[in-house]
Amino acid sequence: MSMMKRQLGTDGPQVSAIGLGCMSFAGFFGPTDEATSQDCLAAAVEHGIDFWDTSNVYGMGVSEQVIGRFLKGSDAQITLATKVGIIPGPPRRFDNTEDYIRSELDGSLSRLGRDRVELYYIHRRDPEVPVEQVAETMGKLIEEGLIGGWGLSEISPATLRQAHEVVPVRAVQNEYSLWSRQPELGLIRACEELGVAFVPFSPLARGMLGERPLDASGFREGDFRRANPRFTEPNLSHNQRAIAAFRAYVQGRGWSVSAAALAWILERSPNAIPIPGTRSRAHLEEWLGATKIRFTDAERAEIDRLLPPGFAHGDRYSYQQLVGVERYC
């Protein structure tokens, strides 16, 4: 099955308009198993989702290994993105030096079973290394054929412009969804002006924008959301009530909640390629109608009334989780 395509930057490949975030294969949102993860990847291939996103720190390589094992037994043509820059610790810190970037790329390529990746992100900026220097390092990796292009994550529009002047940036990955809208304050515009793909992560609000209300009491030990302000009381109850009204509205129109939420992102920018994450075939298949939804002006207005900018209670990260995120405006 094919899916609508979008270009990954000005010089990158055409990829599915909706990608697959593979962080959950490493257990960030609860336990999983190899068979379930492999089935999810098979479903992605079946439905034409050919842009997969991972990182060296998702399970300290587990997510990359799961993908590598799948691709070893498949002839699927997949555009891969992975990341570097976070050292989980403790203490958590960041490293954007050339030696570290090269060393971690070697490990990622080995786990993925590839000799290059199409997109290599700086996962978090290291304030000790100027972004221009990081761009030069990435430019060398491009020239050597080890990566197809480079990107940055959780950055400001100013950082994007600085980096792009040195070596063109292929993609920026920041959080963006109906409940996290900061990229509208300049980042989406900068991506469009520069021809950079905008890759929203957590486009389904870490599970809140699903078919059923999220049961936070079921969060297991190690689940990222247990320490997240939006998922703790009293914020959670407010957020659940607001999203319940949106859920009822879109389901009443015959759409799945996740498909409607992704369709909303797709129409915000022609450069947007959201990467919802899941470890479940069933959840993945709930997204598939997104590229076929076309909102009327009245529907857009109603969605904006139900979930206006800033409706969510609580910051999108805890204080500890915010370290390394560039905040602006």
Average pLDDT value for residue range 33-53: 94
Q: Which amino acid is at 304?
A: D
- Domain 5-207+263-294 sits in CATH 3.30.572.10: no
- 36 versus 297: the higher-pLDDT residue is 297
Element (H, E) at 84: strand 79-84
Tokens of 154: 């959780």
Catalytic residue among 58, 176, 249, 317: 58
- 141 versus 319: the higher-pLDDT residue is 141
The per-residue pLDDT for range 14-42, each reduced to its tens digit, is: 999 999 999 988 766 666 788 899 999 99
Least confident of 26-30, 213-217, 243-247, 316-320: 26-30
Average pLDDT value for residue range 112-129: 97
Whole-Å CA distances, 121 to 82, 96, 160, 202? 6, 11, 12, 16
- What residue ranges in 163-270 does DSSP mark as E strands? 171-173, 197-198
Beta bridge partners, 121, equal: 83, 151
- State residue 27's pLDDT score: 65
Q: Which of 282, 218, 213, 269 is nearest to 40 (CA)?
A: 282
Average pLDDT, the chain: 94
With helix as H, strand as E and coil as C, how does 134-190 read?
A: HHHHHHHHHHCCCECCEEEECCCHHHHHHHHHHCCCCEEECECECCECHHHCCHHHH
82 vs 65: CA distance, rounded Å: 12
When pLDDT is cut at 50, 70 and 90, the band that residue 319 belongs to is: confident
Average pLDDT value for residue range 54-64: 92
Average pLDDT value for residue range 272-290: 94
Average pLDDT value for residue range 117-143: 97
Average pLDDT value for residue range 52-63: 92
Q: What is the pTM of this model?
A: 0.95
- State residue 1's pLDDT score: 67
Average pLDDT value for residue range 272-296: 95
Domain assignments of the chain as residue spans, ordered by start: 5-207+263-294
The answer to whether 58 is a known catalytic residue is yes
Percent with pLDDT over 70 in the chain: 98
The per-residue pLDDT for range 188-199, each reduced to its tens digit, is: 999 999 999 999
When pLDDT is cut at 50, 70 and 90, the band that residue 55 belongs to is: very high
Element (H, E) at 16: strand 14-16
